[in-house]
Amino acid sequence: MNTVITTNDIFLFFAQGAYFLLIAIFATKLLRQYNVRIKLFTGILLLVWVILNIKDLIIYNTPVNSALERVNWITAFDQLAVPIIGITMFELSHPKSITPFKATLHLLPFTILLTSYIVTLNPALITASIIVATLYSAFIILCTLISLRSIPNSSPEHKALLKITCSFLIAISIWILSCIYPSNTFDIVYYIVSGIAWYIIYHSIDKTYPLEEVINNESIDSVAIDSTTTDTLNSHPFSLALNKLFEQDLIFLNPELTLSDLARSIGTNRSYLSEYFNHECNTSFSDYVNNLRLSYAENLMISNRETSIEEIAYASGFNSISTFRRAFVKKFGLTPSQYRNELK
């Protein structure tokens, strides 16, 4: 018996092909900027998504007992796409929080449902998958909206997360409808809406987390950032502003500098910036600033042998000589005077 190909079938194949090509392009572009964590992260997830789309070609060309069974097979695998977007959103709203273990927890319930369906072919598991996907999506959207409350409305990351959340909400709604009412028309709408959603996600990430050059300057008027912070500066939306304030404007030389002052300068809030230093730089704000001041003081001691220790302390941003000495000994294991004597 010959299979009749309808106009809807042609549109569906075209939508699938265009969608597959679009996702592959986004994955390639993001993976080329691998030194920005969120881009590498999203690129890998999109690559997994590309593999998931290849399964459609396999299923469509595999003999099955009925059209409904084919739809069930596609839905069983498609539900894995839901935690992929969820993991991406969680990483965006909670930078560097996703570990292999946490990613596994996100994927676990969906993997169990998929495995169970492969073994039993029980249609009830498809219904369970749709319910779990809906509840999971609601949880991810709620977590994202809660995290948005701690990010200033005018900041780039707030706008990007809001766009991504809305895109995810629309895409998952269309997917759920296409699962409940399977048809070529709903599938075409899903591919179009999902493609637009991924375009918004890609564009938001690419614009908000630009590929940046690390400033390297060995003059006395600039400071080498510690390696633990250099890696993170490329993965945050306000990194350019921080680079400028610390490396060019030398804001750390201000002895009255506070976390609140710095947060206002880059358009974010105190708690979000504190989380950035603690989780991404693996240090506190005060230790980070003191490290820059000590590096600056060290350069001054090397290039200005006649300048007194007290003058160097105040010139480096410390508001007392005792604080300077304690911080210096903690970092170098020597007092400032002992360190200078060893330079002779």
Residues 180, 251 within the same domain: no
With H, G, I as helix, E, B as strand and everything else as coil, classify residue 33.
Answer: coil
Residue 344 scores a pLDDT above 70: no
pTM score of the predicted model: 0.58
Nearest-5° angle of CA 92, CA 95, CA 97?
110
Q: Which pLDDT value is given to residue 96?
A: 66
With H, G, I as helix, E, B as strand and everything else as coil, classify residue 100.
Answer: helix
For residue 27, give the nearest of 41, 47, 7 by alpha carbon.
47
228 or 194: whose pLDDT is higher? 194
For residue 48, give the nearest of 76, 24, 15 by alpha carbon.
24
Residues 112, 253 within the same domain: no
Read off the pLDDT of each residue in 167-186 and give the average, rounded to a whole number: 82
Q: Which pLDDT value is given to residue 128?
A: 94
Q: Residue 222: which pLDDT band, with cuts at 50, 70 and 90?
A: very low
Whether residue 155 is contained in a domain is answered as: yes
Read off the pLDDT of each residue in 228-239 and give the average, rounded to a whole number: 51
Residues 35, 142 within the same domain: yes
Read off the pLDDT of each residue in 36-60 and give the average, rounded to a whole number: 79
Residue 224 scores a pLDDT above 80: no
Residues 169, 238 within the same domain: no
Whether residue 2 is contained in a domain is answered as: no
- The fraction of the chain above a pLDDT of 70, given in percent, is 84
Select, from the ranges 34-43, 72-81, 235-244, the one with the highest average predicted confidence (pLDDT). Answer: 72-81
Q: Residue 213: which pLDDT band, with cuts at 50, 70 and 90?
A: very low
Residues 23, 117 within the same domain: yes
Q: Which CATH number characterizes residue 21's domain?
A: 1.20.1070.10
Q: Which pLDDT value is given to residue 153?
A: 67
Residue 134 scores a pLDDT above 60: yes
Whether residue 60 is contained in a domain is answered as: yes
pLDDT in tens, 283-317: 888 888 988 999 899 888 888 778 888 888 888 88
Confirm if 205 and 45 have CB atoms less than 8 A apart.
Answer: no
Q: Residue 226: which pLDDT band, with cuts at 50, 70 and 90?
A: very low
Q: Which pLDDT value is given to residue 202?
A: 85
Residues 203, 237 within the same domain: no
Last residue of a domain, one of 208, 240, 262: 208
Confirm if 207 and 188 have CB atoms less than 8 A apart.
Answer: no
Q: Which CATH number characterizes residue 274's domain?
A: 1.10.10.60
| Domains held by the chain: number | 2
Q: Residue 152: which pLDDT band, with cuts at 50, 70 and 90?
A: low
Residues 138, 59 within the same domain: yes
Cα separation, 49 vs 86, whole angstroms? 13
Last residue of a domain, one of 208, 238, 257: 208
Residues 122, 22 within the same domain: yes
pLDDT in tens, 262-282: 877 776 767 777 777 887 778
Residues 65, 174 within the same domain: yes
Residue 244 scores a pLDDT above 90: no
Whether residue 219 is contained in a domain is answered as: no
Q: Which domain holds residue 326?
A: 227-343
In angstroms, the first-to-last Cα distance of the chain is 94
Whether residue 308 is contained in a domain is answered as: yes
| 123-162: b (≥16 Cβ within 10 Å) or e | eebbebbbebbbebbeebbeebeebbeebbeebbbbbbbb
Q: Residue 319: which pLDDT band, with cuts at 50, 70 and 90?
A: confident
Residues 126, 234 within the same domain: no
Residue 158 scores a pLDDT above 90: no
Residues 185, 62 within the same domain: yes
Residue 80 scores a pLDDT above 90: no
Read off the pLDDT of each residue in 18-38 and give the average, rounded to a whole number: 84
Residues 43, 137 within the same domain: yes
